[in-house]
């Protein structure tokens, strides 16, 4: 009986994950900030580059541009993701966009759903 309950719970979990649509984007980060629209509830950022990257996440309802219409960008004081590492962002509010900057050219994978 216990095995049947565990199997049923696993099937419900897998079914729920199958309904979530996973999106994937690969971007290049460099000294000029790259801003990417996300519009999802969860985001995983993977740094495949040789140097650290810095990310700034914008949540639903947050301003992405300043009063002059200039896009707000990531800086070295924002969340750091070292080479070969990943960081996951998740919140009840939707993630609107992400800004990424790096000291040198870095490949970054974004997984969001």
- In terms of phi and psi (left: phi > 0; alpha: psi -120 to 50; beta: otherwise), the region of 80 is beta
Q: How far apart are CA 113 and CA 100, in angstroms?
A: 19
Whose tokens are 């914008």? That residue is 58
Distance CA 76, CA 90 (A): 21
CB 43 within 8 A of CB 91: no
Domain ranges of the chain: 22-112
Residue 4: is its pLDDT beyond 80? Answer: no
pLDDT at 93: 85
End-to-end CA distance of the chain: 34
Strand-pairing partners, residue 109, are: 26, 46
Q: Which two tokens stand for residue 65?
A: 């541009």
Q: Over the stretch 25-68, which tens digit does the pLDDT of each residue have?
A: 999 999 988 999 999 999 999 999 999 999 999 999 899 999 99
pLDDT tens track for 82-94: 999 999 999 888 9
For domain 22-112, the CATH superfamily is Jelly Rolls (2.60.120.10)
pTM for this entry: 0.77
Nearest to 43, CA basis, from 81, 82, 105, 96: 96
Q: How far is CA 71 from the centre of its chain?
A: 18
């Amino acid at each position: 009986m216990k095995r049947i309950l565990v199997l049923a719970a696993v099937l419900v979990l897998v079914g729920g994950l199958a309904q979530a649509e996973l999106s994937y984007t690969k971007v290049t980060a460099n000294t000029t900030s790259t801003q990417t629209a996300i519009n999802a509830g969860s985001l995983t950022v993977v740094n495949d580059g040789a140097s650290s990257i810095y990310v700034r996440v914008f949540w639903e309802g947050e301003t992405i541009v300043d009063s002059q219409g200039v896009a707000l960008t990531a800086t070295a004081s924002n969340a750091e993701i070292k080479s070969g590492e990943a960081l996951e962002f998740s919140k009840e509010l939707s993630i609107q966009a992400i800004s990424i900057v790096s000291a040198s050219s870095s490949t970054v994978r974004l997984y969001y759903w």
